[in-house]
Amino acid sequence: MLKLTLILSILAIFIASLPNPKNTVYPPSNAQSWKNAPFSATSSAQDIYSKIYGVAETHSLTKYRSVVKDPFGGDDYVIKVVYEKGGYASKGPGGQAMYARPPIAYSKAKTIKFCYDIAFDANFDFGAPTKIGNIGIGEGKTPGLFSGDTTNCEVPSKCFSMRYMWRADGVGEIFPTVVSKADRPPGWCPDEKKCGNGSGGQGDSIGRGSFSFKRGQWQTLCQIISATSKGTMEVQYNGKTVISKSGIKYGVNFAKGGFIFATFFGGNQDNASSKTQA
């Protein structure tokens, strides 16, 4: 389940068919911050797209998302996402993947802070470690900032993305696609086995184990991104800085920025597929 804030905040995401708009356009804004309008008992699965200012969807069937009363005792209505058995990446059932651009002055922004609350069902199965102890069975992703290409972010001169990832047993990390292997700043990726080798990195495991996702309770994730040629990246978990990187060569600024409302199991192999859960 998710609660979203973009200073950029989404009120809440609980981790438990819209028409497929490709290029929804909104008027420009000079606002310095945004917080999503509250959901209510009458909010539909389709309302989620409009309330978070969705601009494109890639894998977001409405039957896998809904608005529900906070299952952990709060008064808010939150977004619930269901992962059905066998789903992973953009294959199979469950999960969500859409791009959103809430109304702030992206072209003027040097630094953006993006926060949301997230909760997992009390019996959520993150997966168990493999025998060799690296990726594990059942890894998955949660939302983060992006800028640039909304179709296939692999080339850092055209885009970047800053999703989070859970690993076996809920071990957390940030999973940026932002720099090529040749442009990694010092200390970016000490363990080569945990970093992508494509032209855009194709996802690097940064700060693995610096925090862990908990079951049955809300927790707050914030990322503070300065997208410049000597940029920075900071991750806060429940108000504490857990990851900090500098000297990042961002290929694009925030002019085409927003966030990726993406959450699914994977990895791109079926050993990371989900059981039915939320």
Residues 131-157: pLDDT tens digits? 333 333 456 778 899 898 766 666 777
- For 241, the token pair is 């800085």
Q: Pick the residue with more confidence: 7 or 87?
A: 87
- For 30, the token pair is 């000079």
* Residues above pLDDT 90, as percent of the chain: 30
pLDDT at position 237 is: 98
What mean pLDDT comes out for the span 163-173? Answer: 89
pLDDT band at 265 (very low <50, low <70, confident <90, very high): low
Residue 234 neighbours by CB distance under 10 Å:
18
pLDDT at position 226 is: 94
pLDDT at position 183 is: 83
* Residues above pLDDT 70, as percent of the chain: 72
Structural domains of the chain in order of their starting residue, each with its CATH number: 2-272 (2.60.120.200)
pLDDT band at 248 (very low <50, low <70, confident <90, very high): very high
pLDDT at position 92 is: 57
Instruction: Count Cα atoms within 13 angstroms, Cβ side, for 206.
Output: 29
- Torsional sign, CA 71, 73, 74, 75: positive
Give Cβ neighbours of residue 55 (< 8 Å, ≥ 6 apart): 21, 23, 24, 25, 26, 99, 100, 101, 150, 258
In the predicted model, is pLDDT for residue 184 greater than 90?
Answer: no
Q: What is the pTM of this model?
A: 0.85
What mean pLDDT comes out for the span 163-184? Answer: 87
How far lies 61's CA from each of 96, 118, 130, 181, 222, in Å? 7, 20, 31, 34, 27
CA distance 23 to 15: 27
The CA-to-CA distance between both ends of the chain, in Å, stands at 8
What mean pLDDT comes out for the span 8-32? Answer: 60
pLDDT, tens digit (0-9, with 9 covering 90-100), for 199-228: 444 678 899 999 999 999 999 999 999 988
Asked if 98 and 261 count as a contact pair (C-beta separation under 8 A), the reply is: yes
What pairing do the DSSP bridges indicate for beta strands 34-35 and 96-100?
unpaired
pLDDT band at 1 (very low <50, low <70, confident <90, very high): low
